[in-house]
């Protein structure tokens, strides 16, 4: 068999990706995720049969987007040992206390100060202490944190901070992270779907944007102070999503 050379087009694409690694990463993260999400959106809107099997595309959406994009770019550019960062468990008990207890406490306080919230609060039932840990484990692996953070904080944030500095990188990542979720507003995941119309976007998206920007600052702070522990930011993401 003869040696098969790479085509000029593939070489040009590789050269472009090497010259613009962040743009290439975010382009793939958006494109791969949004394409993967199409069957789930079509199912919720009745274009495809409304079957549970299409929920698999929603679960795969972060892995097909940020994770796959991070893997491809890291193969091209190198520089990140994802396995090593996923195994950075030894960060001190204070970080675990902040993530597992402090974050839910802050979110709970933010909820109960809403008008009428205290009157409607029914307290913690015995089933809560069983279901919450189970939900936490499921969300950790399948609810978005693992699939998203390998890309956002594992690949993008370190490179953005070296290029733009801590604050500008954080704010820019917050904006890009927010709008990556845009198709979710067409689904029940963000209270969208048939009958909701576009009002769900212009009413809820600004609130979602502010929430994501605030949490992005916390993510960067935790990431930088735990020496880039990918495990810890996944745990933080899981704690926020589990409360929700």
Lowest-pLDDT choice from 81-90, 103-112, 186-195:
186-195
Q: What is the pLDDT of residues 150-181, one digit of tens each?
A: 999 999 999 999 999 999 999 999 999 999 99
3-state helix, strand, coil in the chain (%, to 5): 80, 0, 20
Q: How far apart are CA 239 and CA 154, in angstroms?
A: 18
* Statement: residue 1 has pLDDT above 70: no
* Statement: residue 144 has pLDDT above 50: yes
The pTM of the whole model exceeds 0.85: yes
Q: Is the pLDDT higher at 6 or at 128? A: 128
Tell me the pLDDT of the chain averaged across its residues.
Answer: 90
What's the average model confidence in pLDDT over 15-37? 97
* Statement: residue 2 has pLDDT above 50: no
What's the average model confidence in pLDDT over 131-136? 92
**Overall size of the chain counted in residues:** 244
Q: What is the pLDDT of residues 175-230, one digit of tens each?
A: 999 999 999 988 888 877 777 766 777 778 898 999 999 999 999 999 999 999 99
Lowest-pLDDT choice from 2-16, 50-64, 74-88, 126-140:
2-16
**Residues near 185 by Cβ (< 8 Å), separated by ≥ 6?**
192, 200, 201, 204, 205
pLDDT score of 6: 59
């Amino acid at each position: 068999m003869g040696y098969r050379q790479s085509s000029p087009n593939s070489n040009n694409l590789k050269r472009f990706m090497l010259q613009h690694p962040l743009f290439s990463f975010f382009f793939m993260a958006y494109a791969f995720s949004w394409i993967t999400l199409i069957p789930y959106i079509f199912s919720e809107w009745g274009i495809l049969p409304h079957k549970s099997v299409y929920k698999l595309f929603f679960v795969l959406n972060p892995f097909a987007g940020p994770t796959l994009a991070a893997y491809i770019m890291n193969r091209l550019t190198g520089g990140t040992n994802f396995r090593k960062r996923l195994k950075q468990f030894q960060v001190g008990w204070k970080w675990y206390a902040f993530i597992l207890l402090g974050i839910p406490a802050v979110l709970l306080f933010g909820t109960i100060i809403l008008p009428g919230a205290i009157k409607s609060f029914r307290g913690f039932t015995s089933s809560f202490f069983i279901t919450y840990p189970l939900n936490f484990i499921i969300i950790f692996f399948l609810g978005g944190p693992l699939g998203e953070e390998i890309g956002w904080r594992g690949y993008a944030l370190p490179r953005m901070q070296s290029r733009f500095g801590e604050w500008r990188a954080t704010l820019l990542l917050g904006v890009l992270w927010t709008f990556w979720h845009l198709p979710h507003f067409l689904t029940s995941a963000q209270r969208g779907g048939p009958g909701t119309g576009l009002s769900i976007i212009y009413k809820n998206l600004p609130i979602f944007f502010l929430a994501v920007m605030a949490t992005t600052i916390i993510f960067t702070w935790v990431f930088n102070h735990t020496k880039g522990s990918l495990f810890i930011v996944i745990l933080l993401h899981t704690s926020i999503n589990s409360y929700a």
